[in-house]
Amino acid sequence: MQTCDALIVGGGPAGSSCAWKLRQHGMEVTVLDKAPFPRDKVCAGWITPAVVQALQLDTEDYAKGRVLEPISGFRTGLIHGRALENRYPAAVSFGIRRCEFDHYLLQRSGARTQLGQALRSLERRGGLWIVNEAFATPLLIGAGGHFCPVARSLGAKLGAAEPAVTAKEIEFEMNPQQRAACPVQANTPELYFCRDLNGYGWCLRKGNYLNIGLGREGHQGLAQELEAFCDFLRQRGRIPDGVPDAFHGHAYLLRGRSGRKLVDEGVLLVGDAAGLAYPQSGEGIRPAVESGLIAAAVVAEAGGDYGYQRLQVYRDRLAARFGAEAAAAGGKTPGFLRNVCAAALLRSRRATRRVVLDRWFLRAHQAALR
Ligand SMILES: Cc1cc2nc3c(=O)[nH]c(=O)nc-3n(C[C@H](O)[C@H](O)[C@H](O)COP(=O)(O)OP(=O)(O)OC[C@H]3O[C@@H](n4cnc5c(N)ncnc54)[C@H](O)[C@@H]3O)c2cc1C
């Protein structure tokens, strides 16, 4: 039986951020992930500067041999509506590829890794967690994404019972003809909102890669909306011929919708496992990273006492950072842009910039986690 101070299930941004910080506190950390890395993750691959700052990413080092595409503008509108462009004097976000980003962060974390190994069994014995009959640890962190088995063991009812965002995307390398024919600019991602404002589609160019996708709240209507979106992009000449149609799907929860239990004796959930994505934009990488760092700080302060009462502080800190569970989504206000004034905002360049982009998508009002 191998022992460690903390075992993290899931090596995505939440798990690797938590591991990185716990290692800085001198803890022995093991990350278990069912996938061999590098692995891809269904995602547009857009990160905000707060992620770069919270992780103290050396962007020059990162960009060596990896895609880091500075974003300094957005083209926005309704699907089949008029598009507007907003420009910024400097980079306000970055396009990354998840196969590169997640691998880099996991390697950098300094944790021991057990990759290509799914969590198969979990037992509580004598105050320790026994994982796969191979690892013993006093502290378990569930960072396995939306379908995290640790979340399931805490009672989460994964699947259609939870009000998730469902999304599909494809990321492919364009050939030279496609690159020449694609008018989407790498520094200007395109965001087009569904008519019911219940979700949006995107088109994001990163180096030679193009990422196209659509996400919406609920389990209904995704396939039709995606088809309508792709038709629209083709009609407007925004995507080149020959886009593969092998879209990959995934789901995740917006903060305020989940109701998942986040803490128990010797266990915490972080990132998508905890259901933390921002309700207005669906951005999930920043909350994944921040929750991983907050969890690590709580663990370090606990001084080895991982009892339920001690770890409750984590729940309180998430509430302080992301809003209380029920209030985070704006009380009864639905997620994404679905509110009375959103359609009007999208018709005005100025309002789109100030509210939709700066406030909801870039969260420029909220400083990076220190
Ligand atoms: C289509 C789509 C587009 C998105 N675009 C963006 C975007 O552009 N920007 C943004 O900020 N957010 C975006 N998101 C949300 C973002 O992808 C997630 O919020 C983020 O990946 C959460 O990170 P995480 O570390 O919590 O989980 P994940 O990144 O899902 O990592 C979980 C890890 O756990 C592992 N795992 C799962 N089950 C097991 C198991 N049984 N045993 C062991 N390991 C396991 C997985 O292999 C995986 O490596 C998007 C989501 C979707 C679906």
Predicted local confidence at residue 332, as pLDDT:
45
Please give the distance, rounded to the nearest whole angstrom, from the Cα atom of residue 145 to the centre of ligand 1: 5
For residues 263 and 270, what is the distance between their CA atoms, to the nearest angstrom? 10
Angle at 9 between CA 12 and CA 292, to 5 degrees: 55
Return the pLDDT at 257: 80
Dihedral of the alpha carbons of 212, 217, 222, 227, in degrees to the nearest 10: -50
pLDDT score, position 41: 97
- The SS3 assignment for 70 reads strand
Ligand 1 pocket, residues with Cβ under 6 angstroms: 9-15, 32-35, 41-46, 118-119, 143-145, 147, 149, 167, 169, 213, 215, 250, 252, 271-273, 277, 283-286, 288
Taking 50 as the pLDDT cut, the residues of the chain under it are 329-333
pLDDT at residue number 195: 85
- Helix (H) / strand (E) element for 106: namely helix 98-109
Tell me the residue type at 84: L
| pLDDT confidence of residue 331 | 45
The helix/strand/coil state of 305 is: coil
* Probe residue for ligand 1, chosen from 8, 30, 32, 34 as the CB with the greatest number of ligand atoms within 8 Å: 34
